[in-house]
Amino acid sequence: MSLLTALQTRLRQRAAYRRTKAEIDAMPLHVAIDLDIYKPDAAKIAAQAVYGR
């Protein structure tokens, strides 16, 4: 994989991570409870969703 392709992939992943984390943070509490999401774990959930770790 070329350096440019790798950089583009990382930038896309970072943007997806930030969007996912922001959506979880902005989620109303009752929705988070219904989905069994602990909002302080937003960073961990977003990382798992985007990076698979």
- What are the pLDDT digits (tens) for 2-43? 999 999 999 999 999 999 999 999 999 999 999 999 999 999
The reported pTM is 0.87
Domain count, the chain: 1
Which residue range(s) make up the domain with 38? 3-51
State how far the Cα of 37 lies from the Cα of 26, in Å rounded to an integer: 12
State how far the Cα of 39 lies from the Cα of 53, in Å rounded to an integer: 18
Tracing tokens 């922001």 back to the chain, one arrives at 22
